[in-house]
Structure 1
């Protein structure tokens, strides 16, 4: 892995910066050993294909000017730019919208129909996130990206969520997706920018393509799932459905598919976090 592989977390904290080749990417691999106390565990129960609907439009962290968004008017000290490495905040905004539900979007400043309103929300959230993520540099002026843990902490600080839990294995991730969407921070490869006709980004020899950087997306369900007799998941026969933040013109109207076996191959570099609603 370019930049050197992150070590396995055993104690303390880990912050691993993925070098990036594209402004759409901007995710750090940040782990905190305390997270191990908040792990979701798969109990072997039957898992089913599932899809969690997100009640806001697909967002676009690029082409901000075309969308009528002026970043300098949204955050003090920012300059006007046409794209941000705010994938963590975009995914976090979609995850928050799911928790709120369509009926409570307006009270949080979100909209079920206006993508611009929601993207502007994500941009402001990105600023807050970079201030509390424990990573050096804050946007503005440093648009260096953030982490899944950072967005969870920012939403908790705002009082919008009650907490968050983590999945660290394929079984636990598939099980957690039964309950709701999961923020998924992944290493992104050049081949993944172009999904195949069925929406898979990991078809063919993707592993030999150039590493592009880190990216945050939102897993919204399982298109297919298979289990062994003991209840463990069969990664090669299990497919994750995910939502990106590169507009409806990318992939399957803004979504894509990933084989769980790819998650297994890259698990050391991935973090999976599910936000929990306030009690």
Structure 2
């Protein structure tokens, strides 16, 4: 097994991401070399998914995964974030070939759960996997799962604010992060850092989201203004959460959490990082 750095969080049924860093993989970073950073947006082509209310959506995990009973929520945020990203990355023909129904929310959620199962199997640091146990997974694990399925060609990382903004110029990015209780009740427009005391609220677990936009890019004397540069992400808790299923955070919040965050950008069609 490679020399991994692993930070585990307690899976809760709607929070299930663990931070797993592989130095070999982290070597693939797209450097920031001064190119202009502009506002960008990448809109998912699937409905907002919901990993918390599976039964109401008609999703029966017992039959699909050989379980004794159905579950109503899964720690499958990595699979859900990856599904949102793939709906942007793949053409309709590629999605169809992968049995990814982008028009039906329940079918798309089934696809996300399948990715989650594969991700838990790709997490070399753990002997447990879904569906035997709802153990959570990692951004690295789901990136490997997508590549194993042939859904992506490669993936790269970012470890700084400028590298993150650079990646968002070319496509969506998976972000794994610690999730604090104040974030679950976002403010106006879905800002999870609207409460000035968000950082002091209890840690609820680890979570994976899909960053889909760099909004409100601001500068001070030609330097990024972290407090007024905004990231938008697709959540996986239904369309009633946040801004119609999306959330936002300031780049300064990313910087405050950076040690516990991992950023991965899967790529398709031979694009070289």
Q: Same fold (TM over 0.5)?
A: yes
Q: Which residue of 2 aligns with 1:4?
A: none
Residues 113-128 of structure 1: pairs in structure 2 closer than 5 A: 113-128=103-118
Q: Which residue of 1 aligns with 2:206?
A: 214
2:7 paired residue among 13, 16, 19: 16
Partner Cα distance (2:208, 2:257) in 1: 14
1:69 paired residue among 55, 59, 67: 59
Partner Cα distance (1:160, 1:236) in 2: 35
- Pairwise CA RMSD: 1.5
In structure 2, do the counterparts of structure 1 residues 143 and 251 end up closer, same or farther at CA, with 3 Å as the change threshold?
Answer: same
Partner Cα distance (1:79, 1:128) in 2: 21
1:52 paired residue among 42, 57, 60: 42
Residues 127-276 of structure 1: pairs in structure 2 closer than 5 A: 127-136=117-126, 137-203=128-194, 204-229=196-221, 232-276=223-267
TM superposition score normalised by structure 2: 0.93
Q: Which residue of 1 aligns with 2:75?
A: 85
In structure 2, do the counterparts of structure 1 residues 129 and 76 end up closer, same or farther at CA, with 3 Å as the change threshold?
Answer: farther
TM superposition score normalised by structure 1: 0.91
Gaps of 5+ in 2: none
Shift of residue 78, structure 1, vs aligned partner: 6.7
Partner Cα distance (1:36, 1:195) in 2: 31
Partner Cα distance (2:241, 2:228) in 1: 25
User: Aligned pair 1:105/2:108, yes or no?
Assistant: no
Partner Cα distance (2:55, 2:40) in 1: 36
Q: Secondary structure at the match of 1:198?
A: helix
Q: Secondary structure at the match of 1:61?
A: coil
Matched residue pairs, number?
Answer: 267
Partner Cα distance (2:92, 2:149) in 1: 20
CA contact (8 A) 1:75 1:127 kept: no
Q: Secondary structure at the match of 1:38?
A: coil
Gaps of 5+ in 1: 1-10
